[in-house]
Structure 1
Amino acid sequence: MYSSYILASLPYLALALPSHQSHTKRDTTLIPTSCFDTTASLTQYFNYGYPWGDTHNGAAIMKETNAVISTAGTLTLNATYTGASDYAYDSGTVYAKQQFTVEAGGGLDLTADFIATVDQGTWPAFWLNGVNSWPPEIDIAEWKGSGDISFNTFNSSSEVQAKDVEYPSPTEFHTVKAELRDENGADVSVNFYLDGTLVTTQYAGSLVGEPLNLIIDLQMEGSSGSPGPTGTTLFEIKNLEIIDKNP
């Protein structure tokens, strides 16, 4: 009789118990592809300039007026030559208001489409850096005036993983994606993709649990050489999306 009762109760127990699927965290969108639809949506998710100010390792000073939504869905950063003796360009930079962390057992996916200049003296970049210290730094995509796109991970100023590949058709949009994953409870693996193809995998040491800033900037000269152009340079970004895969 006891066994019969248990057997009869099993269907009800099955209904009451949560499924394995209910314990699996769904991906969470931290920044949606609509973030560049309007100026209002841009400023909902991003601040102008760098987290520390309006200059960084180059010849441009960053101004709000040089980071604009000229076409719905596309952020345009424009660098204009002024010839000033201290900073010869006015340009644009934005950084995400939210900070991003790879948690233990988790990860992040960052994707966007770019039209990026590869001319000498132009230095567009899409990158992560440490909130509390440098390093870490992960250059999800960087163009340094050589005709290439660069994917880099800095564990120190001397411990750098770098991969340069030819950047095709720079006047057309190309998709860049980085998959960041907890590798071993301390280090983070980074898969870098260009137009859906895995280009390289690099490793950021002791990055699990460390907060990161996301920066999109159009710097000039500096590591991209000089002299830079004397006209106007554009860096266009659309379909930016950041997905949280943390537990």
Structure 2
Amino acid sequence: MLSRHIKAALALTAAAICWSPVTVYAATTVIPTTSFSDYSTFESFWAYLYPWGSDHNGSARMVGNSTDHIHIVVASSTLSLIATPTSNPSPPTSTANPNPAIHYASGAIHAQSQITVTSTNGYTISGEFSAPTTFGTWPAFCSLSFNSWPPETDIGEWKGTANNWFNTFNTSSIVKSTLVSWPTDLSFHALKAVLTAEPDNADVRIDFYMDNVLQTTQFGQGFVGQPLWLIINLQASGSAGSPGPPGTTTYKVRNMLVTRTGS
């Protein structure tokens, strides 16, 4: 039998274990679900166009500002990006590689603050999307490196087919892609990415969900400490194929939420 002194020591040890303080961090809201409630709220969290300007690697030039809402519309707590065919654009080709001809005026926005996964914090990014899948349409919701490319993570990317692409670019040639079927009826569906640092404090684990069901897990090599832009855009042609759509195309997003956990 254990002596009275040993029993007392064990009891004190057990009590210390049970009552050891554990630091629990509440989630901090970075972008609330109300960010598309009106233009004033929108402009406190988001900025117009790409972080670098109006052009990228497709045939649509982004157009919009605080007084021009033809292609970037905020109404009924929903963001709508609208692409329309255009003629005589100036300049006639994109200023970004691979310099495709411009055939559309469209919309893009980016978050004013970057997300940076560290050894002590992670991010959850979610929203509901009505994405067109017509051949030649190229909507996306992605995170791109603030400093250089890659890193890149695509939470939503539709390339003119009835699939959403979850992508992680470690280099231009080392890419992980997972295709998930996407409805063609323009109904809203939820996408989510949970980004957390791996134990090596260098790589980032990315869990991708559709309608709250885990679809795939990918890993961003060296993503820890890399600030990332959040971008929502509606491109055309490029990876979605040519020619682009013959008429107006609309891409909608609602209930966007970005939270940070950790210190």
Both proteins in one fold, TM over 0.5: yes
Partner of 2:204: 188
CA contact (8 A) 1:104 1:246 kept: no
Q: Is the 8 A contact 1:118 1:170 kept in 2?
A: no
Kindly indicate whether the alpha-carbon contact (under 8 Å) linking 1:59 and 1:219 is maintained by their aligned counterparts in 2.
yes
1:73 aligned onto 2:73: no
- Corresponding position of 2:103: 88
**Residue 190 of structure 1, CA deviation:** 0.4
Q: What is the number of equivalent residue pairs in this alignment?
A: 229
Q: How far did 1:102 drift?
A: 0.5
DSSP-derived class of the 2:143 partner = strand
Contact 2:204 2:222 in 1 (8 A): yes
Residue aligning to 1:138: 153
Higher helix share: 1
Structure 1 position 19, deviation (Å) = 7.5
Shift of 1:180: 0.4
After the TM superposition, which parts of structure 1 deviate over 4 Å for at least 4 consecutive aligned residues? none
Alignment correspondent of 2:5: none
Shift in CA distance, 208/170, structure 1 to aligned 2, threshold 3 Å:
farther
- Pick one of 181, 191, 203 that aligns with 1:166: 181
Distance, in Å, in 2 between the alignment partners of 1:175 and 1:166 is 13
**Counterpart AA for 2:170:** N
1:228 shift after superposition: 1.1
User: What is the rounded CA distance, in whole Å, between the counterparts of 2:236 and 2:188 in structure 1?
Assistant: 21
1:82, CA displacement in angstroms?
1.2
Unaligned runs of 5+ in 2: 1-18, 94-101
Structure 2 SS opposite 1:78: strand
* C-alpha contact (below 8 Å) 1:102/1:246 kept by paired residues: no
Deviation of 1:169 after TM superposition, in Å, equals 4.3
Which residue of structure 2 lines up, in the alignment, with residue 114 of structure 1? 129
- Is 1:179 aligned with 2:187? no
Matched residue SS, 2:150 = coil
1:20 counterpart SS class? coil
Tell me how far apart the structure 2 counterparts of residues 145 and 169 of structure 1 sit (CA, whole Å).
Answer: 10
Q: Report if aligned partners of 1:102, 1:210 keep a CA contact under 8 Å in 2.
A: yes
What letter is aligned with 2:180? V
SS in 1 for 2:30: strand
Residue 10 (structure 1) aligns with: none
What amino acid is aligned across from residue 210 of structure 2 in structure 1? L
CA contact (8 A) 2:26 2:262 kept: no
Contact kept in structure 2, 1:116 and 1:170, CA below 8 Å: no
| Deviation of 1:246 (Å) | 2.8
Query: In the TM superposition, what is the alpha-carbon distance from 1:39 to its structure 2 partner?
Result: 0.7
In 1, the alpha carbon distance for the partners of 2:253 and 2:192 equals: 13
1:20 lines up with 2:9 in the alignment: no
> What is residue 212 of structure 1 aligned with on the other side?
228
The alignment partner of 1:216 has SS state of strand
> Aligned residue for 2:248?
232
Q: Which residue of 2 aligns with 1:59?
A: 59
